Every structure is written in C-alpha cells, then in structure tokens.
Amino acid sequence: MSHLVFFIATLIALAISVSVITTALKGVTYAINERMSAAAQQASTIIKIVEGYPADTNDYIITYVKNLGSVPLDVNGFDVFVNGSYVGGCDTISCVDETNNGILSPNELMEVNIPYTLSIGTYRIRVVAENGVYSDFEVIVG
C-alpha cells in the first residue's frame, strides 16, 4: 500500500514538473522568436542623412533623412541628437515625410528641422530609428 502512495505521489510530482517545464519552454521560444523578428526588421532597416545645413536664422538645422531599407518606418519613432546630446523625438520636433502620412516608406525622404542655436563650428547630427538603426552627418557652420 505504501508503494502505491509513493508511486501516485511520484506521478503527481512528475506531472507538475512537466507542466512547469513546458510553460517555461514556451516563454523562451516566444522570446527567441520576438528577438529574431526584431533582428530581421533591424537588418532590413537602412536610413541615411543625405543632406544637412543650418537654417538662415541659425536657430535650427535642416536635415533630410532617406529610408534606403525595405521596411516602412514610423516618423514619430525617430530620435535626434546633436553632438551627442538628445534634442528630441520626431513626436516633439518637426519631422515631415514626403507624403505627410507619418510613415517613412522605402526610398522616401523626411525633412527634420532640429531646433538648435548655432555658432561657428561643426555639429554632428545623429538620427536614430525606433529599432536602433542610425545615421550620422556633420554640419559645418561658418
């Protein structure tokens, strides 16, 4: 009789262990698939700042960013840096794509007006897409 109780207890413990391990493996599999999907999107994303210059009033920098990749990008997902300092995201500064629909489609340009007080010098501009892909450009004033 005691062997039967131990046998049933072992079966219950085994069933619980299999259930926990299965749940954990599903979570790991989901995380791996999400990471692979993000990596694939990042590999398909190529952006380039194709032009940049100071505005006539020297209180902002005008840049043009082109989507050279194969995936459309949300305009509001871009962040802008000048000389390593965060200036703002395209949800707070003026970023306008050619079709003005909020999506930077492949081969489309986006105008980014970066508010920044300029003096004589070199300014390093970095525009970063929401998945971490970025482009750098130097603007020389003076």
Query: What CA–CA distance (Å, rounded) separates 87 from 84?
Result: 9
What pLDDT, on a 0 to 100 scale, did the predictor assign at position 81? 97
Q: For the segment 72-114, what is each residue's pLDDT rounded down to a tens digit?
A: 999 999 999 999 999 999 999 999 999 999 999 999 999 999 9
What pLDDT, on a 0 to 100 scale, did the predictor assign at position 14? 76
DSSP 90: T
Domain ranges of the chain: 1-43, 47-141
pTM for the structure as a whole: 0.72
What is the per-residue burial (b if ≥16 Cβ within 10 Å, else e) of 60-89? Answer: bbbbbbbbebebebebebbbbbbeeeebeb
Tell which wins on pLDDT, 130 or 24.
Answer: 130
DSSP 57: T
The fold for domain 47-141 equals Immunoglobulin-like (2.60.40)
Look over the chain and give the mean of its residue pLDDT values, rounded to a whole number. Answer: 87
> What are the Cα distances from residue 134, in Å, to 2, 40, 90?
68, 16, 14
